[in-house]
């Protein structure tokens, strides 16, 4: 079964106990430098501000997540984290690829603030096609326009 994209917003958090459990596990597994406050506090604050999480789902379980803040024509990504037991298996890369497809479908650009972004994350973003803006304040993925039908 392939990794698929699953969005968790406030409504999903409220009604889906498994999504709550999985998202808590993902962020509880996060290294302290990646998430310097309690996982539940972070998740509730993010969802309470009308933001959502893009999550990698496999076999009805969420394995990874990235926090998404939609502003105008941009989706700002932060706090990418994958469950400890599934790291180094391409889940984070697949999650970012699926998130870019969803952003393209909605007409949004993907952006990641570059300040204090760990070097491995910068390398991953570069490998996936994100480019640092000339001012150096964020990485952006230029998405090709969505096609309106068969060529």
Q: Tens digits of per-residue pLDDT, 26-67?
A: 999 888 877 878 999 999 999 999 999 999 999 889 999 999
Which token pair is 90?
Answer: 């391409």
Q: Above pLDDT 70, what percent of the chain?
A: 93
Number of domains present in the structure of the chain: 1
pLDDT of residue 143: 64
pLDDT-wise least confident of 32-36, 51-55, 71-75, 101-105: 32-36
Residue 147 lies in a domain: no
Residue 117 lies in a domain: yes
* Domain boundaries, position 98: 4-141
Residue 88 lies in a domain: yes
β partners of residue 62:
57
pTM: 0.84
Work out the number of other CB atoms within 10 angstroms of the CB of residue 77.
25
Q: How far apart are CA 147 and CA 78, in angstroms?
A: 28
Tell me which of 6 and 147 has the higher pLDDT. Answer: 6
pLDDT of residue 104: 86
Q: How far apart are CA 116 and CA 97, in angstroms?
A: 23
Residue 148 lies in a domain: no
Residue 149 lies in a domain: no
CATH number for the domain spanning 89: value is 3.40.630.30
pLDDT of residue 151: 46
Q: Are 129 and 141 in contact (CB under 8 A)?
A: yes
Q: What are phi and psi of 31, to 5 degrees?
A: -60, 145
Residue 151 lies in a domain: no
* Of the ranges 41-45, 111-115, 116-120, the best mean pLDDT one: 41-45
Residue 137 lies in a domain: yes
Residue 146 lies in a domain: no
């Amino acid at each position: 079964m392939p990794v698929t994209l699953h969005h968790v917003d406030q409504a999903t958090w409220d009604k889906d106990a498994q999504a709550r459990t999985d998202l808590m596990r993902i962020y509880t597994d996060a290294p302290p430098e990646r998430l310097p406050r309690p996982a539940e506090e972070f998740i509730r604050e993010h969802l309470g501000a009308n933001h959502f999480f893009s999550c990698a789902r496999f076999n009805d379980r969420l394995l990874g997540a990235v926090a998404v803040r939609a502003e105008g024509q941009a989706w700002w990504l932060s706090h990418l984290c994958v469950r400890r037991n599934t790291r180094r298996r391409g889940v984070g890369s697949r999650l970012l690829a699926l998130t870019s497809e969803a952003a393209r479908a909605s007409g949004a650009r993907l952006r990641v603030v570059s300040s204090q972004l760990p070097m491995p994350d910068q390398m991953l973003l570069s490998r996936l096609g994100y480019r640092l803006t000339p001012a150096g304040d964020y990485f952006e993925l230029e998405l090709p326009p969505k096609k309106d039908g068969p060529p």
